[in-house]
Structures are given as structure tokens and as C-alpha cells.
Amino acid sequence: NNAIKAARGEIIVYIDADLAIDLDLFPKLVSAIKDNNVDIAVGSKHLPDSVVDYPKLRRLFSKGYSFLARLLLGSYVRDYQCGFKAFKKDVILDVLPNVKSQKWSWDTEVLVKSQWMGYKVMELPARVLNIYDRESKVHLVKDVKNMGSELIRLTFERFRFKKKCQQQ
């Protein structure tokens, strides 16, 4: 959040530190915002043209989480956790004060609350680079529990938040 607030420029792009997503996506994210009248552009591992070579268990959990988030939160995004996103600076600065999460579910909360606030999100196919030789920071049981509890929190917050946005 602090880095986003301090960043300069009209479009803010971030990528996860492990660089698991091919950097060729960078100009495509920026172009999506400039050329397609969207507020946020995100990489997605769940689109037909995406190239993903993840362990099967990780793919299963990723797709399961995405399905639950769409179902419970009324979102159309297919991949919340892809670590390559671009935002119009004024949009992300408008959304950030409403975001409570500071862990893995930060991405989900930013994307769904952006949609709840009426901002447009566009997904682009991502190409995942070889992750098999890397040590994962994901702790399956702990992170599934944390992200599940965050989905429940956001589910209960959904209608109250959307009503608040409509009143403004």
C-alpha cells in the first residue's frame, strides 16, 4: 500500500517479487488500461491462452479459490492471485482506504472492491515461468485457512459495502 501511494505516474504496475509471470505481460497491461477504457488490468493464469505449468495440487486450489470468490463475492475475475497487476493511479488510491487485508487475500479484496465500486477490471492471459526450482512461500494449510476466512469476511461485507457505494 505504501509503495502504491508513493509511486509516480498515471498507471501503477506491480509484479510479485518471485517474477513467476513473464515480464512480456507488462506492456500489455499498460496498453489494456490506455486503449480499452478499463481501470485495472491483471494477468490471469485461468484464461484459455494462458500458459501455466504448475503442480496439479496448486492448480486445483487456485481454481477452487477462484470459483468460490466469484460465487461468494459476485465477481467476474477468474484469477485473483496472479502477481502482475496494473491500476490507474487515481482508481487504486480510491480503493485502498477500503482494503483491510494485508496478506495473500489483498489482491482479492482490491479486485472485488474495485468492481463493487464500479471500476472495470480486464484480465489478460499470463505465462508462468518455471516455478518447480523455486521454494514456495505458500503454506498450504495456513494460507487456505487465512484466505478462506477472508472470503467469509468479504462475503458478509459484500452487500453492506455495495449499498454504501450506491449511496455515495
The residues annotated with a catalytic role in the active site are 107
Strands 84-88 and 40-44: antiparallel
- CA nearest 82: which of 125, 44, 56, 52? 44
Q: Which residues pair with 12 in a beta bridge?
A: 87
Instruction: Write out the E strands in 19-108.
Output: 40-44, 84-88
* Separation between Cα atoms, residue 106 and residue 104, nearest integer Å: 6
